Structure 1
Amino acid sequence: IFTATRRQAALNVLIPRCLRRGSSLTLVGLSPALGTFLAGVVLANSEFRHELESDIEPFKGLLLGLFFITVGAGINFGLLFDDFTNILGLTLGLMLLKAVVLLLIATVFKMRLSDKWLFSLGLAQACEFGFVLLAFSVQSAVIPVDLADKLLLIVALSMMFTPALFIIYDKVILPMVTKKQGRKDDEIATKGTAIIAGHGRFGQIINRALMASGYKTVVIDQHAELIEGMRKFGIEVFYGDASRPDLLHAAGLHEAKLLVVAIDDAEQAIALVEHARMEHPDLHIIARAKDRNEVYKLYYAGASDIVRETFDSSVRAAGYALKALGVHPHEVEKSMVQFVEHDRKSLRDMASVWKADVDNFENEELLAMAKDLTAELEELMHADKSELSANIHGGWVPPNIAAQNVANKIKAAE
């Protein structure tokens, strides 16, 4: 089925098969809904699950809506109004009991305190399969209809209260837990040539490169577990919020030559750059950004150099693509250098016409400049390509030194 070129062929077989499997279970006294569910579970654990998921994606919203409409139509709202206090109490009691059990399970598995509460509150409601089980129980005469109607209301109300539990977690529990789990900022007695704010994957690479080159760095991060782990490797990282002015001054802001803003919170990064530039006008600031909008904001804040997270890797991928298409390696390297330099210049030019309160696609001045810069880049790349091609002799391809070194080490090990 799945080797067919048309996706509809698989759907035309699989959907009737699920329905037929569900209907066949009525012969042994089971619910068609339960049978269809079991058939779906079997297919979901097969090697075709990803194909099936993409095939039924257009129908998922429709079927979910139909499911909840059917459930809602079966709810006895009159019973809710007649016995509101009792049903509300049972609902809250169910959620409390389930949350306590989940909290105990989380404790057994030694989850973090914040994760314990999120795990317990996020799963405290009754699940959607409860609707199917209740319908099956009534059909099988296991429980009376009156009790099933009451339980159906309890399941629905518990699901309705779930968003409120997440709000309580975010607004009440998480701040309390964070404060309880928190620690005081470290006292920074040492000073360094460079201050690195943030020691995630981005900051770690920068710190390693500077330390390997012999420079003293002062690294600040807010993740206590990461700090303890880094100290086991002999890397000193201080705990604290680098956006706090007092901590930044304690780290030697006025004595440092370089500040690297490697935190991933855009608003904090912008505030940090603004404060550092105001306090130390001559400081060289390197900042991290996710997209062009963050680049523009960081330029306005006073950053000297801004690195977009995916830009350098994208440029390398573009270089590989050009080589794969037959472009000479010399030409690729020269073109990529030209591309990067032009992109940096164009970012600064476009930052001058960028407006925070206007969408980029509605900013006519920005759009016009982008078109001009794109045409300029194409003209520059074509001119550079023609000039370089005329100077390439003999089709010489430069050796890949890094690859040769790795190959030599492998041979030596053998």
Structure 2
Amino acid sequence: MATDLLLNALIFLAAAVLIVPVFKRLGLGEVLGYLAAGVAIGPSALALVADAEAVLQFSQVGIIFLLFVIGLELKPSRLKLMHKAVFGFGSLQVGVTSLLLTACGWALGLSPVAAAVTGFSLGLCSTPLVLQLLGERHELQSRHGRNAFALLLFQDLAAIPVLALIPMLAAEDLLAGGFMPMLQEVLVAIGAFAGLIVGGRLLLRPLFRFAAGTRSREVFAGTALLVVIGAALLMELAGLSMALGAFIAGVLLADSEYRHGIEADIEPFRGLLLGLFFMAVGMTAQIGLLAEQPGMILGLTGALLVAKALSVVVAAKAFGTGWREALNLGVLLSQGGEFGFVLLTAAGAAALLPSSLVNQLVLVVSLSMAATPVMFLAHARLVRPLFKARKARPDFDPLPDESPQIILAGFGRFGQIMGRALQGLKIPYTVLDINADQVAFVRRYGNKVYFGDASRIDLLEAAGADQARVLVVAVGDIEASMRIVASVRQRFPHLRVFARARNRYHAHLLMRTGVNDLVRELLPASLELTRDVLVGLGIPRDQAQHTIDTFRPHDEQTLRRQLEVFGNEKKQIQTVQEAARELEALYEADEDVTTSLEEPPTRPAAGP
């Protein structure tokens, strides 16, 4: 058994490694490569893996993780901003597409109920496919990317009640035997839904606070997996979608301080399982039907792509978008989706649709998914350039809470002062801090701080380092500071790094990596206190400030001279001694200061 499992894993990995890079190099995208790899190793071709259905069933976990990550991104503020797109454009597109496809099904001889189920099922799009295509082209934050996301979110939510309704639609007499069991199922589902929300609000933050307190990345990642799978299974046991449970868990954690850390830990699982899902879709496609009925299958596929593209364009224009965005959405959302597989299979099991038609439609949906990356690539290369000259406004609306200009690593005494100033200026920033207790404490005062180790590349990506302009390294630990700088220099060279240096040695380490925007944490306060001490001795304030102004550039120059002999203790000592003599000479040349120092301080007259 273990040998068979390892062999299957080897086959999947080999197919992905050999085929996906070829498709990506050809510009066709990873998704089409995964689909082709699945077809190659599936029963329709080499038959290297026999049980395609079992693989597809397991790979649904990838969709669960995808919906969880989507939930993490859907902060309440963002949902409020997107509610018109989600419920306006989403309902409009689903309504237009479903009516058009239902009319086509009815015209082809299906019963009204069967046509409605078929039309709705084929009207759904593929969430992982569309998001993957947008992610590959870095268009998730574009105008059409956000509208596509809103539409997909509405579709995922709308598919759940339809899935629950299919057994009711198939029942011949609801009052005789179907109504009460269905009512019981609805009540159980509502109870599970409410339990997940209430329980999540009460338990999730303490659970992750405990996991973060262990300082173990494995425990923290295991906690994230526990939450995702547990929420999905709770919804499954209640008769609802597992993806819905994962999505709700993500939404509940969207405003938590652990959001970026969770997203970074879930991302590898999501990517691997989504790749497995697309390969499973390719494996389950019954290519034999294409050989037996090429005209019908290809004709239905073409009709589905055209009908959905037209309906999406109509809905987008009715929603008020421009032609460029409407065409982008039409091509991007023209395929069937994974929820279509689920609904069509459920309709077949409930005898609403004949099994032969279900098999044909599943193949049509699979082919439409395979065609979409090619169509989207052709559209991007051939059609989009025609609209560039007419573009009158930006391709996206800036979202301050999702597009931080500054990432602040460390939020202790040093970082909090900067954070207060940035907040007062309304400059968006994201804070990462490794101390779970500090994060919990600071958030009680209303600060947006997230738990996580800022030296991790995946966490920086989740925090928006690709779009940010500045990284401020405000951590006090020298080793942690240097790890962060090394990670950023390697992966995000565009980021301008400002750093807190604990001492001269730390400053030299930072300067050796190319970080010149740094402040030694004790220098400004020490110089200010020195100035006040001089004033206390009777030196006029302007002369005391002049003394400090003379010291600062000399010290900076000395710091750079010491950098040239870094690691050579003998020359370091020599440099320090030379710098001390030079500073004495500078002050001796400043007659006003030396004269003030030689004069006794003026004492105030005694009062009566």
TM-score range, shorter chain: 0.3 to 0.5
The normalised TM-score by structure 2 is 0.32
The normalised TM-score by structure 1 is 0.46
The structure showing larger relative contact order (alpha-carbon pairs under 8 Å, at least 6 residues apart) is 2
